[in-house]
Amino acid sequence: MSKKYLETIRAEDGELYHLKYHQWRLESALGTKKTHQLHELLSPPKKGLYRCRVLYDEENFEVEYIKYTKRQVKRLKLLYDDTIEYEKKYENRDRLNQLFSKREDADDILIVKNSLLSDTSIANIALFDGEVWFTPKRPLLQGTTRARLLKSGKIVEKEIRVEDIMSYEKIALMNAMIDFDIIAQENIEEIIC
């Protein structure tokens, strides 16, 4: 395979969640008219919660169903990296993994790029100011759950400066497996280190 792309899709009791958003991202990654059709190629287990891991390029398509257990995130370590790039969901996560290894006693990292909040190692984020949920205007990755919630109006894009983080009341993580998960409610200072 050449450069490998990755999709992670929630599969629960035989149902694949939000498949059209994953199909959109697959087509965006390949940038070709010839694409794999996820609805034709996926057949998840009928019982249980799985992470459907799809690895692909223009010619190849591999699927793996992995029993899913949610990772508990109660503390995020701010890490700064102005050069990190992850605009497409690649299999190669070396730089993200290097940053994640620096989390110390935190459960995950919150990456700051050019003084702006971006993503954690596994999720997009949103912060609540008391009225509106905002998501960084420049995430590392345009996540499928983020795209869906933007379209529905549940979240709004905004540049979020690292120095403004404590002015927000709540923080949530979002990805295909956890959907929209509020991890700090009115105690944001306790979750950021």
Which has the closest alpha carbon to 11: 59, 49, 62, 54? 49
pLDDT at site 33: 64
Q: Both 127 and 33 in a single domain?
A: no
Q: For the residues of 12-62, what is the DSSP string, one character each?
A: ETTEESSHHHHHHHHHHHH-SS----HHHH----SSSEEEEEEEE-SS-EE
In this prediction, residues 43-70 reach a mean pLDDT of 94
Among the candidates 67, 97, 113, a domain finishes at: 67
- Is residue 189 classed exposed, middle or buried when 0-12, 13-18 and 19+ CB atoms within 10 A define those classes? exposed
Residue 32 has pLDDT above 90, yes or no: no
Mean pLDDT of the chain: 92
pLDDT higher at 19 or 187: 19
The two three-digit tokens of residue 94, written as one number: 């070396």
Residue 103 banded pLDDT, cuts 50, 70, 90: very high
Q: How confident is the model at residue 95 (pLDDT cuts 50, 70, 90)?
A: very high
| pLDDT at site 1 | 39
If asked whether residues 9 and 59 sit together in one domain, one would say yes
d(CA 90, CA 12): 24
Distance CA(70)–CA(51), nearest Å, equals 10
pLDDT category of residue 59 using cuts at 50, 70 and 90: confident
- Residue 189 three-state SS: helix
Mean pLDDT of 26-38: 82
Q: Which residues contact 112 (CB under 8 A, 6 or more apart)?
A: 78, 79, 80, 81, 118, 162
Q: Are residues 38 and 130 in the same domain?
A: no
Last residue of a domain, one of 67, 89, 105: 67
Range of the domain at 99: 76-191
Could you tell me what percent of the chain has a pLDDT over 70?
95
**Per the structure block, which two tokens stand in for 130?**
């008391």
pTM over 0.75, yes/no: yes
Tokens 């105690």 map to which residue?
A: 187
Total number of domains constituting the chain:
2
Domain shared by 63 and 80, yes or no? no
The stretch 29-50 carries a mean pLDDT of: 88
CATH number at residue 63: 3.30.470.10
Beta bridge partners of 92: none
CATH code, 96:
3.20.10.10
Out of 67, 95, 110, a domain closes at 67
**Cα separation of 99 and 80, whole Å?**
9
